[in-house]
Amino acid sequence: MSATPDSSAHPAQPAPGDAEHTSSPAPADAPLRILQMLALAVEHTDDAVMITRPDGVIEYVNPGFERITGYPADQAIGRTPGFLRSGAPSPGFYGQLWQTIRLGRSFRAVFTNRRRNGDIYFEEKTISPIRGRDGDIRHFVATGKDVTERMAATRHLEHKAHYDSLTGLPNRSLLHDRLHQAIQRAQRKGRLVAVQFVDLDRFKIINDTLGHATGDRVLIEAARRLRDCLRATDTVARLGGDEFVLIQEDLEHPDMAEQVARKVLDTFSSHFPIGIHDLFVNVSIGVALYPGDGADPESLLMRADLAMYQAKEAGRNSFRFFEAALDAGSMRSLTLESAIGEALERREFSLVYQPLIDTRSQAPLAVEALLRWHSPRHGSIPPDHFIPLLEENGRIGDVARWALREALRQVRTLQEAGHPRLRLAFNLSGRQFRDPGLVQDIRAALDDTGFDPRLLDLELTEHTLTDNPEAAAAALRALRQLGVRLSLDDFGTGYSSIALLAHFPLHSLKIDRSFIQHMERDQQAAIIVRSSAGLARNLGLEVIAEGVENLAQLALLQELGCHLIQGQVLARPLAADELGRALAPA
Protein backbone atom coordinates (compact mmCIF):
# COMPACT_ATOMS: atom_id res chain seq x y z
CA MET A 1 0.00 0.00 0.00
CA SER A 2 1.38 3.35 -0.95
CA ALA A 3 1.93 5.93 1.79
CA THR A 4 1.64 8.82 -0.64
CA PRO A 5 -1.52 10.96 -0.16
CA ASP A 6 -4.17 10.74 -2.85
CA SER A 7 -4.01 14.17 -4.45
CA SER A 8 -7.09 13.48 -6.54
CA ALA A 9 -9.18 12.87 -3.47
CA HIS A 10 -7.76 15.81 -1.56
CA PRO A 11 -6.84 18.75 -3.81
CA ALA A 12 -3.70 20.52 -2.65
CA GLN A 13 -4.29 23.54 -0.39
CA PRO A 14 -1.81 26.41 -0.09
CA ALA A 15 0.37 26.27 3.04
CA PRO A 16 -0.14 29.03 5.58
CA GLY A 17 3.09 30.70 4.57
CA ASP A 18 2.71 30.43 0.83
CA ALA A 19 2.84 33.71 -1.09
CA GLU A 20 -0.35 32.85 -2.96
CA HIS A 21 -2.16 32.39 0.35
CA THR A 22 -0.86 35.55 2.07
CA SER A 23 -1.60 37.69 -0.87
CA SER A 24 -5.26 36.73 -0.99
CA PRO A 25 -7.63 39.46 0.19
CA ALA A 26 -8.74 39.37 3.86
CA PRO A 27 -12.33 38.42 4.54
CA ALA A 28 -14.70 41.35 4.66
CA ASP A 29 -15.60 40.60 8.29
CA ALA A 30 -11.95 40.63 9.54
CA PRO A 31 -12.26 43.94 11.46
CA LEU A 32 -15.35 42.62 13.17
CA ARG A 33 -13.59 39.39 14.10
CA ILE A 34 -10.66 41.33 15.56
CA LEU A 35 -13.01 43.43 17.63
CA GLN A 36 -14.73 40.30 18.87
CA MET A 37 -11.38 38.78 19.87
CA LEU A 38 -10.38 41.94 21.68
CA ALA A 39 -13.70 42.04 23.50
CA LEU A 40 -13.30 38.38 24.45
CA ALA A 41 -9.75 39.04 25.73
CA VAL A 42 -10.89 41.99 27.82
CA GLU A 43 -13.75 39.96 29.26
CA HIS A 44 -11.46 37.09 30.30
CA THR A 45 -8.34 38.90 31.53
CA ASP A 46 -7.66 38.86 35.28
CA ASP A 47 -6.73 42.54 35.15
CA ALA A 48 -9.25 45.31 35.72
CA VAL A 49 -10.22 47.21 32.57
CA MET A 50 -12.18 50.44 32.71
CA ILE A 51 -13.16 52.78 29.85
CA THR A 52 -14.29 56.33 30.54
CA ARG A 53 -15.40 59.35 28.60
CA PRO A 54 -13.01 62.30 28.41
CA ASP A 55 -14.72 63.79 31.48
CA GLY A 56 -13.98 60.61 33.49
CA VAL A 57 -17.48 59.11 33.55
CA ILE A 58 -17.24 55.32 33.33
CA GLU A 59 -18.79 53.68 30.28
CA TYR A 60 -17.44 50.14 30.64
CA VAL A 61 -15.83 47.85 33.22
CA ASN A 62 -14.87 44.23 32.69
CA PRO A 63 -15.37 41.22 35.02
CA GLY A 64 -11.78 41.64 36.25
CA PHE A 65 -12.75 45.08 37.55
CA GLU A 66 -15.78 43.62 39.29
CA ARG A 67 -13.70 40.88 40.92
CA ILE A 68 -10.91 43.18 42.11
CA THR A 69 -13.06 46.08 43.36
CA GLY A 70 -16.15 44.19 44.47
CA TYR A 71 -18.38 46.62 42.55
CA PRO A 72 -20.72 45.13 39.91
CA ALA A 73 -20.75 46.88 36.56
CA ASP A 74 -24.15 48.51 37.11
CA GLN A 75 -22.80 50.25 40.26
CA ALA A 76 -19.76 51.62 38.44
CA ILE A 77 -21.02 52.67 35.01
CA GLY A 78 -22.17 56.28 34.93
CA ARG A 79 -19.94 57.30 37.85
CA THR A 80 -16.44 58.74 37.96
CA PRO A 81 -13.69 56.51 39.48
CA GLY A 82 -13.57 58.74 42.55
CA PHE A 83 -15.65 56.22 44.51
CA LEU A 84 -12.56 53.95 44.56
CA ARG A 85 -10.34 56.50 46.25
CA SER A 86 -8.98 55.62 49.70
CA GLY A 87 -7.83 59.11 50.61
CA ALA A 88 -4.20 57.97 50.79
CA PRO A 89 -2.68 59.82 47.78
CA SER A 90 -2.26 63.58 48.03
CA PRO A 91 -4.49 65.85 45.92
CA GLY A 92 -1.46 66.67 43.80
CA PHE A 93 -1.31 63.05 42.68
CA TYR A 94 -4.66 63.28 40.84
CA GLY A 95 -3.80 66.70 39.47
CA GLN A 96 -0.68 65.24 37.88
CA LEU A 97 -2.74 62.32 36.55
CA TRP A 98 -5.23 64.56 34.69
CA GLN A 99 -2.52 66.87 33.43
CA THR A 100 -0.66 63.91 31.92
CA ILE A 101 -3.55 62.12 30.20
CA ARG A 102 -5.14 65.31 28.84
CA LEU A 103 -1.86 65.99 27.07
CA GLY A 104 -2.35 62.63 25.35
CA ARG A 105 0.32 60.74 27.36
CA SER A 106 -0.11 57.58 29.39
CA PHE A 107 -0.01 57.75 33.18
CA ARG A 108 1.43 54.87 35.21
CA ALA A 109 1.42 54.52 38.99
CA VAL A 110 0.45 52.31 41.90
CA PHE A 111 -2.91 53.48 43.23
CA THR A 112 -4.06 52.99 46.82
CA ASN A 113 -7.77 52.26 46.41
CA ARG A 114 -10.65 50.99 48.51
CA ARG A 115 -12.79 47.95 47.65
CA ARG A 116 -16.54 47.87 48.05
CA ASN A 117 -16.13 46.03 51.40
CA GLY A 118 -13.89 48.79 52.72
CA ASP A 119 -10.56 46.98 52.37
CA ILE A 120 -7.59 48.92 51.06
CA TYR A 121 -5.86 47.44 48.02
CA PHE A 122 -3.00 48.44 45.76
CA GLU A 123 -3.46 48.58 42.01
CA GLU A 124 -0.68 48.94 39.48
CA LYS A 125 -2.54 50.94 36.83
CA THR A 126 -1.88 52.39 33.38
CA ILE A 127 -4.29 55.02 31.98
CA SER A 128 -4.02 55.78 28.26
CA PRO A 129 -5.98 58.09 25.93
CA ILE A 130 -8.00 56.70 22.98
CA ARG A 131 -8.12 59.10 20.04
CA GLY A 132 -10.70 59.31 17.29
CA ARG A 133 -9.97 59.62 13.56
CA ASP A 134 -9.80 63.39 14.01
CA GLY A 135 -7.06 63.02 16.62
CA ASP A 136 -9.19 64.18 19.51
CA ILE A 137 -9.31 62.18 22.74
CA ARG A 138 -12.59 60.25 22.74
CA HIS A 139 -12.04 57.94 25.72
CA PHE A 140 -9.54 56.86 28.35
CA VAL A 141 -8.78 53.20 29.02
CA ALA A 142 -7.38 52.10 32.37
CA THR A 143 -5.87 48.67 32.93
CA GLY A 144 -4.99 47.65 36.46
CA LYS A 145 -3.37 44.72 38.24
CA ASP A 146 -4.03 43.95 41.91
CA VAL A 147 -0.55 44.04 43.54
CA THR A 148 -1.71 44.07 47.17
CA GLU A 149 0.10 40.86 48.10
CA ARG A 150 3.30 42.01 46.39
CA MET A 151 3.16 45.38 48.16
CA ALA A 152 2.52 43.69 51.49
CA ALA A 153 5.54 41.41 50.99
CA THR A 154 7.69 44.39 49.99
CA ARG A 155 6.55 46.42 52.97
CA HIS A 156 7.16 43.45 55.27
CA LEU A 157 10.72 43.17 54.01
CA GLU A 158 11.22 46.92 54.36
CA HIS A 159 9.86 46.80 57.90
CA LYS A 160 12.18 43.94 58.81
CA ALA A 161 15.10 45.87 57.37
CA HIS A 162 14.36 49.01 59.39
CA TYR A 163 12.56 47.92 62.58
CA ASP A 164 13.48 45.73 65.52
CA SER A 165 11.48 42.51 65.41
CA LEU A 166 11.08 42.26 69.20
CA THR A 167 10.07 45.79 70.21
CA GLY A 168 8.86 47.21 66.90
CA LEU A 169 11.19 50.19 67.37
CA PRO A 170 13.39 51.60 64.60
CA ASN A 171 16.67 49.71 64.38
CA ARG A 172 20.23 51.00 63.95
CA SER A 173 19.82 51.56 60.20
CA LEU A 174 16.64 53.64 60.48
CA LEU A 175 18.05 55.46 63.52
CA HIS A 176 21.02 56.72 61.49
CA ASP A 177 18.68 57.89 58.73
CA ARG A 178 16.37 59.75 61.11
CA LEU A 179 19.26 61.29 63.02
CA HIS A 180 20.78 62.50 59.75
CA GLN A 181 17.47 64.11 58.77
CA ALA A 182 17.06 65.65 62.24
CA ILE A 183 20.52 67.23 61.96
CA GLN A 184 19.65 68.71 58.57
CA ARG A 185 16.42 70.21 59.90
CA ALA A 186 18.19 71.58 62.97
CA GLN A 187 20.83 73.15 60.77
CA ARG A 188 18.18 75.01 58.77
CA LYS A 189 16.27 76.15 61.87
CA GLY A 190 19.24 76.84 64.13
CA ARG A 191 17.94 74.44 66.81
CA LEU A 192 19.46 71.68 68.94
CA VAL A 193 19.17 67.92 68.59
CA ALA A 194 19.66 65.71 71.66
CA VAL A 195 20.85 62.11 71.38
CA GLN A 196 20.31 60.07 74.54
CA PHE A 197 22.02 56.68 74.81
CA VAL A 198 20.04 54.52 77.26
CA ASP A 199 21.40 51.25 78.68
CA LEU A 200 19.55 48.94 81.07
CA ASP A 201 21.64 48.37 84.19
CA ARG A 202 22.61 44.74 84.92
CA PHE A 203 20.17 43.39 82.33
CA LYS A 204 22.51 40.43 81.78
CA ILE A 205 21.68 39.17 85.28
CA ILE A 206 17.96 39.03 84.41
CA ASN A 207 18.69 37.05 81.24
CA ASP A 208 21.03 34.66 83.03
CA THR A 209 18.84 34.00 86.07
CA LEU A 210 15.28 34.23 84.71
CA GLY A 211 15.82 33.28 81.09
CA HIS A 212 15.67 35.05 77.74
CA ALA A 213 11.86 34.94 77.55
CA THR A 214 11.66 37.09 80.69
CA GLY A 215 14.44 39.30 79.35
CA ASP A 216 12.51 39.85 76.13
CA ARG A 217 9.43 40.92 78.07
CA VAL A 218 11.56 43.39 80.01
CA LEU A 219 12.87 44.84 76.74
CA ILE A 220 9.35 45.18 75.33
CA GLU A 221 8.18 47.00 78.47
CA ALA A 222 11.30 49.18 78.45
CA ALA A 223 10.55 50.17 74.84
CA ARG A 224 6.98 51.09 75.78
CA ARG A 225 8.11 53.27 78.68
CA LEU A 226 10.70 55.05 76.57
CA ARG A 227 8.10 55.81 73.87
CA ASP A 228 5.84 57.32 76.53
CA CYS A 229 8.64 59.71 77.55
CA LEU A 230 8.90 61.35 74.13
CA ARG A 231 6.81 63.49 71.83
CA ALA A 232 5.31 61.96 68.70
CA THR A 233 7.87 63.84 66.59
CA ASP A 234 10.82 62.32 68.48
CA THR A 235 12.38 58.90 67.93
CA VAL A 236 13.22 56.00 70.20
CA ALA A 237 15.25 53.19 68.61
CA ARG A 238 16.79 49.93 69.77
CA LEU A 239 20.41 49.41 68.83
CA GLY A 240 20.43 45.81 70.02
CA GLY A 241 20.71 43.96 73.30
CA ASP A 242 19.69 46.31 76.11
CA GLU A 243 20.76 49.52 74.34
CA PHE A 244 18.28 52.18 73.22
CA VAL A 245 18.70 55.63 71.68
CA LEU A 246 16.37 58.63 71.95
CA ILE A 247 16.41 61.48 69.43
CA GLN A 248 14.86 64.80 70.46
CA GLU A 249 14.43 67.38 67.75
CA ASP A 250 13.74 71.11 67.66
CA LEU A 251 15.18 71.89 71.10
CA GLU A 252 15.80 75.47 72.15
CA HIS A 253 17.87 74.68 75.25
CA PRO A 254 19.78 71.71 76.75
CA ASP A 255 17.42 71.79 79.73
CA MET A 256 14.78 70.20 77.48
CA ALA A 257 17.03 67.16 77.09
CA GLU A 258 17.67 67.03 80.82
CA GLN A 259 13.92 67.04 81.49
CA VAL A 260 13.47 63.95 79.33
CA ALA A 261 16.46 62.19 80.93
CA ARG A 262 14.97 62.76 84.38
CA LYS A 263 11.58 61.62 83.13
CA VAL A 264 13.13 58.37 81.87
CA LEU A 265 14.85 57.73 85.21
CA ASP A 266 11.57 58.39 87.03
CA THR A 267 9.64 56.10 84.65
CA PHE A 268 12.07 53.25 85.28
CA SER A 269 11.95 53.71 89.06
CA SER A 270 8.73 51.70 89.28
CA HIS A 271 8.90 47.92 89.14
CA PHE A 272 8.39 45.79 86.04
CA PRO A 273 5.59 43.25 86.65
CA ILE A 274 6.81 40.36 84.49
CA GLY A 275 4.82 37.19 85.14
CA ILE A 276 5.31 36.19 88.77
CA HIS A 277 8.28 38.53 89.13
CA ASP A 278 8.37 42.17 90.20
CA LEU A 279 11.66 43.38 88.72
CA PHE A 280 13.42 46.68 89.26
CA VAL A 281 15.32 47.79 86.17
CA ASN A 282 17.34 50.98 86.30
CA VAL A 283 19.01 52.75 83.39
CA SER A 284 22.16 54.73 82.73
CA ILE A 285 21.84 57.57 80.22
CA GLY A 286 24.41 59.51 78.21
CA VAL A 287 23.40 62.71 76.41
CA ALA A 288 25.13 64.40 73.46
CA LEU A 289 23.90 67.56 71.73
CA TYR A 290 24.06 68.80 68.14
CA PRO A 291 25.91 70.93 67.17
CA GLY A 292 28.17 71.29 70.21
CA ASP A 293 29.12 67.62 70.63
CA GLY A 294 29.15 66.58 66.98
CA ALA A 295 27.84 67.42 63.53
CA ASP A 296 27.12 63.92 62.25
CA PRO A 297 25.27 60.83 63.52
CA GLU A 298 28.42 58.80 64.22
CA SER A 299 30.02 61.50 66.40
CA LEU A 300 26.84 62.15 68.38
CA LEU A 301 26.18 58.44 69.02
CA MET A 302 29.79 57.82 70.04
CA ARG A 303 29.80 60.73 72.49
CA ALA A 304 26.39 59.87 73.93
CA ASP A 305 27.71 56.32 74.44
CA LEU A 306 30.79 57.68 76.19
CA ALA A 307 28.64 59.86 78.45
CA MET A 308 26.49 56.82 79.27
CA TYR A 309 29.66 54.94 80.23
CA GLN A 310 30.48 57.78 82.62
CA ALA A 311 27.00 57.49 84.14
CA LYS A 312 27.65 53.81 84.81
CA GLU A 313 31.04 54.60 86.33
CA ALA A 314 29.35 57.11 88.64
CA GLY A 315 27.10 54.42 90.11
CA ARG A 316 24.43 53.75 87.46
CA ASN A 317 20.77 54.87 87.56
CA SER A 318 21.82 58.36 86.47
CA PHE A 319 22.50 60.49 83.41
CA ARG A 320 25.52 62.43 82.19
CA PHE A 321 25.97 65.01 79.46
CA PHE A 322 29.01 64.57 77.27
CA GLU A 323 31.89 66.80 78.27
CA ALA A 324 34.89 67.53 76.09
CA ALA A 325 37.01 67.08 79.20
CA LEU A 326 36.32 63.34 79.24
CA ASP A 327 39.91 62.12 79.03
CA ALA A 328 41.49 59.74 76.58
CA GLY A 329 41.50 57.06 79.27
CA SER A 330 37.70 57.04 79.33
CA MET A 331 37.56 56.85 75.56
CA ARG A 332 40.05 54.01 75.62
CA SER A 333 37.95 52.15 78.20
CA LEU A 334 34.89 52.55 76.03
CA THR A 335 36.61 51.29 72.90
CA LEU A 336 38.14 48.41 74.86
CA GLU A 337 34.68 47.44 76.10
CA SER A 338 33.49 47.33 72.50
CA ALA A 339 36.54 45.43 71.23
CA ILE A 340 36.53 42.74 73.91
CA GLY A 341 33.02 41.60 72.98
CA GLU A 342 34.34 39.63 69.99
CA ALA A 343 37.90 38.98 71.17
CA LEU A 344 37.23 35.30 71.93
CA GLU A 345 35.76 34.60 68.50
CA ARG A 346 38.70 36.42 66.88
CA ARG A 347 41.17 34.28 68.86
CA GLU A 348 42.79 37.29 70.49
CA PHE A 349 43.14 35.61 73.90
CA SER A 350 46.11 33.44 74.81
CA LEU A 351 47.61 31.80 77.89
CA VAL A 352 50.99 32.06 79.57
CA TYR A 353 52.21 29.97 82.48
CA GLN A 354 54.20 31.01 85.55
CA PRO A 355 55.92 28.17 87.41
CA LEU A 356 55.56 27.61 91.16
CA ILE A 357 59.03 26.55 92.36
CA ASP A 358 59.97 24.47 95.40
CA THR A 359 63.14 26.27 96.51
CA ARG A 360 64.43 23.21 98.31
CA SER A 361 64.66 21.16 95.13
CA GLN A 362 64.55 24.03 92.60
CA ALA A 363 61.94 21.93 90.76
CA PRO A 364 58.70 23.30 89.32
CA LEU A 365 55.78 21.94 91.33
CA ALA A 366 53.04 23.53 89.23
CA VAL A 367 52.33 26.22 86.67
CA GLU A 368 49.61 28.85 86.97
CA ALA A 369 47.66 29.66 83.80
CA LEU A 370 47.42 33.42 83.22
CA LEU A 371 45.10 34.93 80.61
CA ARG A 372 46.45 37.47 78.13
CA TRP A 373 44.66 39.64 75.56
CA HIS A 374 46.39 41.12 72.56
CA SER A 375 44.08 43.34 70.51
CA PRO A 376 45.10 44.15 66.91
CA ARG A 377 43.89 47.70 67.52
CA HIS A 378 44.91 48.35 71.13
CA GLY A 379 47.90 46.09 71.58
CA SER A 380 48.49 44.07 74.76
CA ILE A 381 45.95 44.92 77.47
CA PRO A 382 46.80 44.27 81.15
CA PRO A 383 44.55 41.70 82.88
CA ASP A 384 43.48 44.17 85.56
CA HIS A 385 41.98 46.24 82.72
CA PHE A 386 40.21 43.59 80.68
CA ILE A 387 39.09 41.09 83.35
CA PRO A 388 36.62 43.63 84.86
CA LEU A 389 35.29 44.28 81.34
CA LEU A 390 34.64 40.57 80.86
CA GLU A 391 32.85 40.50 84.22
CA GLU A 392 30.77 43.51 83.22
CA ASN A 393 29.66 42.29 79.79
CA GLY A 394 28.99 38.73 80.95
CA ARG A 395 31.62 37.08 78.70
CA ILE A 396 33.82 35.96 81.60
CA GLY A 397 32.12 32.54 81.67
CA ASP A 398 32.71 31.83 77.99
CA VAL A 399 36.32 33.00 78.15
CA ALA A 400 37.00 31.05 81.35
CA ARG A 401 35.61 27.84 79.86
CA TRP A 402 37.83 28.25 76.81
CA ALA A 403 40.86 29.09 78.98
CA LEU A 404 40.41 26.04 81.22
CA ARG A 405 40.20 23.61 78.31
CA GLU A 406 43.15 25.23 76.56
CA ALA A 407 45.25 25.14 79.76
CA LEU A 408 44.37 21.49 80.43
CA ARG A 409 45.29 20.57 76.87
CA GLN A 410 48.62 22.42 76.88
CA VAL A 411 49.73 21.23 80.33
CA ARG A 412 48.67 17.69 79.43
CA THR A 413 51.07 17.96 76.48
CA LEU A 414 53.87 19.00 78.88
CA GLN A 415 53.06 16.09 81.17
CA GLU A 416 53.33 13.66 78.27
CA ALA A 417 56.63 15.27 77.24
CA GLY A 418 58.33 14.19 80.47
CA HIS A 419 56.69 16.03 83.37
CA PRO A 420 53.93 13.64 84.45
CA ARG A 421 53.38 15.16 87.93
CA LEU A 422 53.24 18.81 86.81
CA ARG A 423 50.18 20.50 88.32
CA LEU A 424 48.04 23.19 86.76
CA ALA A 425 46.81 26.11 88.88
CA PHE A 426 43.74 27.83 87.43
CA ASN A 427 41.83 30.84 88.81
CA LEU A 428 38.03 30.70 89.10
CA SER A 429 36.29 34.08 88.96
CA GLY A 430 33.47 34.88 91.37
CA ARG A 431 30.88 34.73 88.57
CA GLN A 432 32.25 31.41 87.34
CA PHE A 433 32.22 29.97 90.88
CA ARG A 434 28.53 30.87 91.26
CA ASP A 435 27.60 29.27 87.91
CA PRO A 436 25.31 26.26 88.61
CA GLY A 437 26.97 24.41 85.72
CA LEU A 438 30.52 24.84 87.03
CA VAL A 439 31.06 21.27 88.25
CA GLN A 440 29.68 19.79 85.03
CA ASP A 441 31.86 22.12 82.93
CA ILE A 442 35.02 21.12 84.81
CA ARG A 443 34.16 17.41 84.70
CA ALA A 444 33.58 17.60 80.94
CA ALA A 445 36.84 19.51 80.39
CA LEU A 446 38.80 16.93 82.41
CA ASP A 447 37.21 14.03 80.53
CA ASP A 448 37.73 15.60 77.11
CA THR A 449 41.43 16.33 77.71
CA GLY A 450 42.28 13.20 79.72
CA PHE A 451 43.72 15.36 82.48
CA ASP A 452 44.23 13.81 85.93
CA PRO A 453 41.92 15.79 88.28
CA ARG A 454 44.42 15.36 91.15
CA LEU A 455 46.83 17.57 89.21
CA LEU A 456 44.32 20.44 88.75
CA ASP A 457 44.50 23.16 91.41
CA LEU A 458 41.50 25.53 91.33
CA GLU A 459 42.20 28.90 92.97
CA LEU A 460 39.48 31.08 94.50
CA THR A 461 39.79 34.45 96.17
CA GLU A 462 38.93 35.02 99.79
CA HIS A 463 36.18 37.47 98.81
CA THR A 464 34.49 34.84 96.63
CA LEU A 465 34.35 32.34 99.51
CA THR A 466 33.32 34.75 102.28
CA ASP A 467 30.51 36.37 100.27
CA ASN A 468 28.23 33.42 101.15
CA PRO A 469 30.23 30.97 103.30
CA GLU A 470 27.62 28.19 103.50
CA ALA A 471 26.99 28.13 99.76
CA ALA A 472 30.73 28.37 99.11
CA ALA A 473 31.45 25.40 101.39
CA ALA A 474 28.84 23.29 99.56
CA ALA A 475 30.29 24.26 96.17
CA LEU A 476 33.82 23.44 97.33
CA ARG A 477 32.73 20.01 98.53
CA ALA A 478 31.15 19.32 95.13
CA LEU A 479 34.37 20.37 93.41
CA ARG A 480 36.52 18.30 95.73
CA GLN A 481 34.45 15.22 94.88
CA LEU A 482 35.81 15.56 91.35
CA GLY A 483 39.25 14.91 92.82
CA VAL A 484 40.66 18.38 92.11
CA ARG A 485 42.75 20.45 94.52
CA LEU A 486 41.40 23.71 95.97
CA SER A 487 43.44 26.78 96.91
CA LEU A 488 42.63 30.03 98.66
CA ASP A 489 44.14 32.86 96.61
CA ASP A 490 45.08 36.39 97.85
CA PHE A 491 44.90 35.26 101.48
CA GLY A 492 44.80 38.10 104.00
CA THR A 493 42.96 40.67 101.87
CA GLY A 494 39.42 39.78 103.03
CA TYR A 495 37.58 39.57 106.33
CA SER A 496 37.20 36.77 108.88
CA SER A 497 39.85 34.77 107.07
CA ILE A 498 41.13 32.80 110.06
CA ALA A 499 37.67 32.12 111.49
CA LEU A 500 36.36 30.65 108.25
CA LEU A 501 39.49 28.94 106.96
CA ALA A 502 38.88 25.68 108.81
CA HIS A 503 35.35 25.35 107.34
CA PHE A 504 36.54 25.12 103.74
CA PRO A 505 37.92 21.86 102.27
CA LEU A 506 41.14 23.45 101.00
CA HIS A 507 44.53 22.04 100.01
CA SER A 508 46.69 25.14 99.87
CA LEU A 509 46.85 28.81 100.72
CA LYS A 510 48.44 31.63 98.72
CA ILE A 511 49.68 34.65 100.67
CA ASP A 512 48.70 37.84 98.84
CA ARG A 513 51.47 39.61 96.94
CA SER A 514 50.79 42.91 98.74
CA PHE A 515 52.20 41.48 101.97
CA ILE A 516 55.16 39.88 100.18
CA GLN A 517 56.12 43.17 98.51
CA HIS A 518 56.12 45.12 101.81
CA MET A 519 57.60 42.53 104.17
CA GLU A 520 61.17 43.85 103.79
CA ARG A 521 60.29 47.31 105.08
CA ASP A 522 57.07 46.73 107.02
CA GLN A 523 57.31 44.66 110.19
CA GLN A 524 53.52 44.16 110.32
CA ALA A 525 53.55 42.73 106.80
CA ALA A 526 56.32 40.33 107.82
CA ILE A 527 54.32 39.26 110.88
CA ILE A 528 51.24 38.60 108.72
CA VAL A 529 53.33 36.47 106.36
CA ARG A 530 54.90 34.52 109.26
CA SER A 531 51.48 34.01 110.94
CA SER A 532 49.81 32.97 107.71
CA ALA A 533 52.53 30.43 106.93
CA GLY A 534 52.34 28.99 110.46
CA LEU A 535 48.53 28.83 110.36
CA ALA A 536 48.56 27.03 107.03
CA ARG A 537 51.07 24.46 108.22
CA ASN A 538 49.08 23.84 111.42
CA LEU A 539 45.94 23.23 109.32
CA GLY A 540 47.83 20.84 107.08
CA LEU A 541 47.71 23.22 104.11
CA GLU A 542 50.38 23.86 101.55
CA VAL A 543 51.49 27.50 101.67
CA ILE A 544 52.54 29.46 98.59
CA ALA A 545 54.02 32.95 98.34
CA GLU A 546 53.10 34.83 95.15
CA GLY A 547 54.58 37.98 93.70
CA VAL A 548 58.15 37.38 94.87
CA GLU A 549 60.25 39.84 92.91
CA ASN A 550 63.74 39.94 94.47
CA LEU A 551 66.28 37.85 96.33
CA ALA A 552 65.72 39.65 99.65
CA GLN A 553 62.05 38.64 99.65
CA LEU A 554 63.04 35.09 98.69
CA ALA A 555 65.53 34.84 101.57
CA LEU A 556 62.99 36.12 104.11
CA LEU A 557 60.36 33.65 102.92
CA GLN A 558 62.76 30.74 103.19
CA GLU A 559 63.69 31.90 106.68
CA LEU A 560 59.96 31.91 107.55
CA GLY A 561 59.61 28.36 106.27
CA CYS A 562 57.78 29.20 103.03
CA HIS A 563 59.45 27.27 100.24
CA LEU A 564 56.84 27.28 97.44
CA ILE A 565 57.53 30.44 95.50
CA GLN A 566 55.85 32.11 92.53
CA GLY A 567 57.33 35.29 91.11
CA GLN A 568 59.69 37.02 88.74
CA VAL A 569 62.71 36.28 90.92
CA LEU A 570 62.64 32.62 89.86
CA ALA A 571 60.53 32.42 86.69
CA ARG A 572 58.57 34.84 84.56
CA PRO A 573 55.33 33.85 82.78
CA LEU A 574 56.05 31.87 79.61
CA ALA A 575 54.04 30.73 76.61
CA ALA A 576 53.43 26.98 76.42
CA ASP A 577 56.20 26.33 73.88
CA GLU A 578 58.69 28.44 75.84
CA LEU A 579 57.72 26.65 79.03
CA GLY A 580 58.34 23.28 77.41
CA ARG A 581 61.90 24.31 76.53
CA ALA A 582 62.55 25.87 79.95
CA LEU A 583 61.41 22.94 82.09
CA ALA A 584 64.21 20.62 83.10
CA PRO A 585 63.73 16.98 82.09
CA ALA A 586 61.86 14.95 84.67
Residue 120 pLDDT > 50, yes or no? yes
In a 13 Å sphere around the CA of 507, the CA atoms on its Cβ side amount to 16
The C-alpha atoms of residue 199 and residue 318 are separated, in whole angstroms, by 11
Least confident of 71-75, 111-115, 391-395: 391-395
Angle at CA 358, nearest 5°, toward 354 and 364? 45
Residue-wise pLDDT tens digits, 460-508: 887 777 767 777 888 888 899 999 999 988 776 554 456 566 678 888 8
Residue-wise pLDDT tens digits, 519-574: 877 787 788 888 888 888 888 888 888 888 888 888 888 887 787 889 887 888 99
Please give the backbone phi and psi of residue 457, each rounded to the nearest 5 degrees, phi first. -115, 105
502-531 burial: b if 16+ Cβ within 10 Å, else e: eebebebbbbbbebbbbbeeeeebbebbbe
Domain boundaries defined on the chain:
37-152, 163-326, 349-582
Residue 246 pLDDT > 80, yes or no? yes
Class of the 37-152 domain? alpha beta
Residues in contact with 475: Cβ distance below 8 Å, sequence separation at least 6, in sequence order: 433, 438
Least confident of 282-296, 360-374, 498-512, 544-558: 498-512
> Where does the pLDDT of residue 88 fall: very low under 50, low under 70, confident under 90, or very high at 90 and above?
confident
The C-alpha atoms of residue 579 and residue 419 are separated, in whole angstroms, by 12
Mean pLDDT over 61-89 rounds to 92
Specify the CATH number for 349-582; select among 3.40.50.2000, 3.10.50.40, 3.30.830.10, 3.20.20.450: 3.20.20.450
313 or 18, which is more confident: 313
Least confident of 73-77, 125-129, 320-324, 491-495: 491-495
pLDDT at 331: 59
The C-alpha atoms of residue 529 and residue 516 are separated, in whole angstroms, by 7
Residue 405 pLDDT > 90, yes or no? yes
Residue 269 pLDDT > 70, yes or no? yes
Mean pLDDT over 396-414 rounds to 94
**H-helix or E-strand spanning residue 369:** strand 363-375
Least confident of 190-194, 251-255, 452-456, 556-560: 556-560
pLDDT at 341: 80
Q: Are 334 and 392 in contact (CB under 8 A)?
A: no
The C-alpha atoms of residue 226 and residue 198 are separated, in whole angstroms, by 9
In the DSSP assignment, the letter for residue 85 is B
Expressed in percent and rounded to 5, the helix, strand and coil fractions of the chain are 45, 25, 30
Angle at CA 352, nearest 5°, toward 348 and 358? 170
Residue-averaged pLDDT of the chain: 85
> Any idea how long the chain is?
586
Domains 37-152 and 163-326 share a fold: no
30 or 166, which is more confident: 166
pLDDT at 492: 65
> Where does the pLDDT of residue 14 fall: very low under 50, low under 70, confident under 90, or very high at 90 and above?
very low
In the DSSP assignment, the letter for residue 190 is T
The C-alpha atoms of residue 496 and residue 205 are separated, in whole angstroms, by 28
pLDDT at 19: 37
> Where does the pLDDT of residue 208 fall: very low under 50, low under 70, confident under 90, or very high at 90 and above?
confident
pLDDT at 412: 96
Residue 342 pLDDT > 50, yes or no? yes
The C-alpha atoms of residue 176 and residue 301 are separated, in whole angstroms, by 9
- Of residues 496, 504, 516, the one with CA closest to residue 562: 516
- C-alpha distances out from residue 412 to 405, 423, 446, Å: 10, 9, 10
pLDDT at 496: 45
The C-alpha atoms of residue 219 and residue 169 are separated, in whole angstroms, by 11
Question: Which homologous superfamily is 163-326 in?
Answer: Reverse transcriptase/Diguanylate cyclase domain (3.30.70.270)
